Amino acid sequence: MSTSICPCGSGNLLDACCGHYHAGHPAPCAEALMRSRYSAYVLGLVDYLVATTVPAQQAGLDTAAIGAWSAQSTWLGLAVESSEVFGGQPEHAFVTFTARWHDSTGEHSHRERSSFVQNNEHWYFIDPTVDVKAGRNDACLCGSGQKFKKCCASYL
């Protein structure tokens, strides 16, 4: 059992916090998934970052760039501002946060309002940097079986 404090800022031990999700247990909510993704960047868990991105976008991720950014950065902290959960099937959420890191060019801060969707009892990050090849009437990228325009389109 690890005695390391979780990088997500919860103050809990890694094994009892984000490490639980990294080991394969589904995050119970979008905020927990977002925190575990930040921790994955800190720990260099690129496979976890890919697996927790909505499946239709996973092939479009640049895993080499993700790994390099993760490894070449000193992660300074995470502050979660808000988490908004919306009902419906599938359930969607926004999590607003600020992540801080230091790299060879200096110290950085990034504030983001990320989108998440739940499908088959798993939460996924909807990556706005990955091109979505779905028209308004195509099936949604989250795998819900709904049309893209009725499901995730408004969360990108």
- DSSP classification of residue 59: G
Q: How many structural domains comprise the chain?
A: 1
- DSSP classification of residue 56: G
How far apart are alpha carbons 66 and 79 in whole angstroms? 21
Backbone phi and psi for residue 146, each to the nearest 5 degrees, phi listed first: -85, 165
**134-143 confidence digits (pLDDT tens):** 666 788 878 8
Is residue 113 included in any domain, yes or no? yes
In Å, how far from its chain's centre is CA 147? 23
Q: In what order do the strands lie in the sheet with 92-103?
A: 74-86, 92-103, 106-119, 122-126
Is residue 146 included in any domain, yes or no? no
How far apart are alpha carbons 92 and 85 in whole angstroms? 6
CATH of the domain at 25: 3.10.450.50
Is residue 141 included in any domain, yes or no? no
**2-51 confidence digits (pLDDT tens):** 679 999 999 999 999 999 999 999 999 999 999 999 999 999 999 999 99
Domain around 41 = 14-130
Say what percent of the chain tops pLDDT 90. 73
Is residue 45 included in any domain, yes or no? yes
